[in-house]
Chain A
Amino acid sequence: MEWRLTSSQAISYCSWDDEWVFYNNLSGDTHLLGSAAAQVLLELRQSSLNALRLTEALAQRLQAENVTYKEFSFQIDHLLNELNTLGLIEFS
């Protein structure tokens, strides 16, 4: 099961320091996101990915060495569910 950005969505974003502000044109909502959530969206912009592949792709970028792989994987799962709830991503 792979995740992707919600279809027909044109997200605009800006960031200052480690925080990101995303605008979702479908919902008209603006979201303040942390760096990890933003990186998930940026990664899914490239291609649809399942949670496992996404975890592997982001582990190094998000400096996940201080947590176990299992913990990091759990955090990514949690983020994916949150982003899905916000209508930013969906199952492909």
Chain B
Amino acid sequence: MNVSALTPSELKLRLKTAGIYLQTGSFTTHLKTTIPSVAEGIGLLYADYPLAEQDCFADFHVSLTRPRNLRRWFKPQVLFLFDGNTIFKPLPLDQAFPMLEWGLNWCVSTHVNHCLMIHAAVVEKGGFAAIMPAPPGSGKSTLCAALVNRGWRLLSDELALIRVGDGNLSLPRPVSLKNESIEIIRRYEPNAIFSRKVADTIKGTVAHMKAPADSIARAAEAVQVAWVIFPKYQAGATACLERLPQSRAFMRVADNSFNYSLLGLKGFKAMTNLIDASLCYDFTYSKLDDAIEIFGALKPQASNNNHTYANEL
């Protein structure tokens, strides 16, 4: 059963009482909240996500609540609770849905250490995936949103999860856009579904774009990573895809990883396999159509490079 099987009032009631068991990729989140804007956001952006059986095992137990303090009468706030504990400082109530999204990212990025985690968008076409690591502000999510509206499958907007030993996991969740990117993607794909814009957050104005239903339905499909591409939006720039030596790409992906150091030798091996399987590029762009064309022309390498690898000198 998907979230869309519940009417808005049923969803609100269930979130208020027992909570829902929301499946996003291979993770199940037990979510409770009494906040109407969160229920509305889930009804809108998570409509196509499956609900697991009530009271099943959940990877994360999350709730969003309003702190019961005096502020609730004049500047209401929202708290994100993980296993019943407060994780972050409260935010203005208006930011409740973005806080859920940021909190769910936090759940994965701090707990899923059986995977090499990279701060990156991941998209796939024809069985081959492109990992796009980048720091905030580089245009990663804008490019990702454009690609998934032009035939690429969304595996993740935020976290590339490379399972140590056997490939990567898909985590298709709403695409987080901020500031000018929101209107750029609205114009680029008028049919895209967005959450309400929320202003004055720590990231500026934010909105989330619904993940394509096909990406959610195919979340369990394995992919082969073929490209590691470092995107960079640069106003007025001609789109340029430039080969990057794999050793340099290795170090830069490690810099964008949440837990490369934590994983030790396992992380090194996973990174070696990832880089060896990938053609690596720097990509500068300013026009989304040019970017789509260049991505459409990407070809995977014929076979893995003849790299040297050894353990324990």
Q: Which of A5, A12, A41 has the most CB of B within 10 A?
A: A12
Chain A interface SS verdict (over half): strand
User: Looking at the complex, which one of A11, A12, A17, A41 makes contact with B247 (CB distance below 8 Å)?
Assistant: A17
User: Looking at the complex, which one of B247, B264, B311, B313 makes contact with A21 (CB distance below 8 Å)?
Assistant: B247
A9 to B256, CA, bound (A): 26
Interface size class of B (residues with CB under 8 A): 20 to 34
Contacting B at CB under 8 A, from A31-78, are 32, 41-42, 45
Contact check, A23 vs B265: say whether CB atoms are below 8 A apart: yes
User: Looking at the complex, which one of B245, B265, B311, B313 makes contact with A16 (CB distance below 8 Å)?
Assistant: B245
Interface size class of A (residues with CB under 8 A): 20 to 34
Q: Which residue of chain B is the closest to A34 with respect to CB atoms?
A: B247
| Distance (whole angstroms) from the CB of B154 to the closest CB of chain A | 30
27 A-B interface contacts by CB (under 8 A) = A9-B313, A10-B265, A11-B313, A12-B309, A12-B310, A12-B311, A12-B313, A13-B313, A14-B276, A14-B307, A15-B309, A16-B245, A16-B247, A16-B275, A16-B305, A17-B245, A17-B246, A17-B247, A19-B245, A19-B248, A21-B250, A21-B251, A28-B264, A30-B268, A32-B248, A32-B250, A45-B313
Q: What is the interface of chain A, defined by CB distance below 8 A to chain B?
A: 5, 9-17, 19-21, 23, 25, 28, 30, 32, 41-42, 45
Q: What is the interface of chain B, defined by CB distance below 8 A to chain A?
A: 245-248, 250-251, 254, 260-261, 264-265, 268-269, 272, 275-276, 305, 307-313
